[in-house]
Structure 1
Amino acid sequence: MFGDMMGMMGKLKETQQKVEATKKRLDTVTLEEKSNDNLLAVTITANRQIKKIAIDDRLLEDKEQLEDYLIMTLNKAIQNATSVNEAELAAVAKEGMPNIPGMDSLFK
């Protein structure tokens, strides 16, 4: 029994290391979100760090419109990045979890 516990602890530590490596890798995964008319584009990492915002000159003429575009496009970008982030981390965590009945439903 003690050996099983040590094996499980080792597996959990290994999983923790994989999660940390995945977090670092997600810093390099970039997603691009554009407004419906392509006047605004946002590049974001899967760890939700904004890397670039490209604004068409036509949006600079109307401050309120630009603000609306930024809010909508940034929110979509953050939502997509969060989905990728959560899916990647859940996959790594699920892979490293011991087979405990009922636990698999937590990672769906």
Structure 2
Amino acid sequence: MFGDLMGMMGKLKETQAKVEETKKRLDTVLIDEKSNDGLLKITLTANREIKSIEVDDSLLEDKEQLEDYLILTLNKAIEKATNVHESEIAAVAKDGMPNIPGMDMFK
């Protein structure tokens, strides 16, 4: 029994280390998003850190329009990054989880 418990604890620590490695790797995965007309371009990491924002000069003339563009485009980019982030972390967690009866939520 204790051998099984120790094995599970080792597996969990190994999985935790893999999750941390995956999070670091996701800092290098870039997500690009742009507005429908291409006037605003945003790049962020899969860990949802903004790396760049490019604004066409024509958007600088209308503050409200620029704000709307930023909200819409940022939300689309964040959604994409979140999907990548969650699927990568879930894959690592699923592979590393020990077989515990009743704990099949990652499968």
Please report the TM-score for the alignment, with normalisation by the length of structure 1: 0.93
Identity of aligned residues (%): 78
Q: Distance in 2 between matches of 1:43 and 1:107?
A: 30
Counterpart code for 2:88:
E
How well do the aligned residues superpose, as a CA RMSD in angstroms?
1.2
Any gaps of 5 or more consecutive residues in structure 2? none
CA deviations over 1:8-46 (Å, ceiling 9, x no partner):
111000000000000111111110011011110100000
Any gaps of 5 or more consecutive residues in structure 1? none
Counterpart code for 1:82:
T
**Equivalence for 1:26:** 26
Counterpart code for 1:63:
K
Structure 1 segments of 4+ aligned residues over 6 angstroms from their partners: none
Q: Distance in 2 between matches of 1:101 and 1:55?
A: 53
1:96 CA drift (Å): 0.5
Please report the TM-score for the alignment, with normalisation by the length of structure 2: 0.94
Q: Distance in 2 between matches of 1:80 and 1:20?
A: 20
Counterpart code for 2:5:
M
Counterpart code for 2:106:
F
SS of alignment partner, residue 16 of structure 2: helix
1:100 CA drift (Å): 3.0
What is the number of residues matched between the two proteins?
107
Q: More helix per residue: 1 or 2?
A: 1
CA deviations over 1:56-91 (Å, ceiling 9, x no partner):
111111111001000000011111111111110011
**Equivalence for 1:73:** 73
